[in-house]
Amino acid sequence: MYFSFENFIMSRAKIQLSSFEKELVQNSDWILTKRSIIDKVYTLFGNLSEIYSTIIDKASVPAEIRLTAPKISRGENYYGLPYVVLDYPRIFDKENVFAIRTLFWWGNFFSSSFHIKGEYKRQFIQSIFSNYEQFLKAGYFLCTNDDEWDFRFAENNFKSINEISRGEWETLLKEKSFIKLSVKIPLASWDHVTDELIKFFQLNLQSAGINFRDGEINL
């Protein structure tokens, strides 16, 4: 059989696009719009970081938590999709974690996750036990996975507290090395997302038994 090197090269080089892909590759508006949206999320999170800092300043948190600075990061490939993350407070080390992560994940949701481990778990677990009803009413999910860095609301990762009895709640909190409680907000709720995220930020702290000076936060 005759081997044609030219045909071989041509067959390897010929990559087809679908009709939809051809339409997109000729249209620069959608990618510029995507960049604009990500910039707006980044600005939104910058504004939130200032509000969160005001809340933390009035909270009875350990000194080292107050000393952390907000960190905003962005990327293009969280399971294939763009994202923006605000971490504050953000104590992360091998043994001890105290963090609230605010996440925007393109095509999916906003979320607020309260993540504690080690000394902070021991310090705050009793208050979290007793605030089962608060998390239940607010629509939170509890991480049941062993991977504490997976923030997707998949069945093998999170379980709705609506599906967890109080007895199971206490068992799950005790048996894992970390506690991660998360709530998600649909992207369609963009117009109200700032108020929602502030509400959940405060709830995360209050449910851990953290009090505020004067008993309330005025923003």
pLDDT confidence bin for 142, thresholds 50/70/90? very high
Domains of the chain, by residue range, sit at 17-212
Looking at residue 15, what is its pLDDT? 84
Sequence-distant (≥ 6) Cβ neighbours of residue 132 within 8 angstroms: 161, 166, 169
Dist CA 122 CA 202 (whole Å): 20
DSSP annotation of 118 = T
| Backbone CA torsion sign across 72, 123, 55, 129 | positive
Predicted confidence (pLDDT) per residue in 70-85, tens digit: 999 999 999 999 999 9
Dist CA 56 CA 161 (whole Å): 26
Average pLDDT, the chain: 91
DSSP string for residues in 22-85: HHHHT--HHHHHHHHHHHHHHHHHHHHHHHHHHHHHTB---HHHHT---EEEEEEEETTEEEEE
Dist CA 10 CA 19 (whole Å): 21
Please give the CATH topology (third level) of the domain spanning 17-212: BirA Bifunctional Protein; domain 2 (3.30.930)
- Strand (E) or helix (H) holding 186: strand 178-186
Looking at residue 4, what is its pLDDT? 63
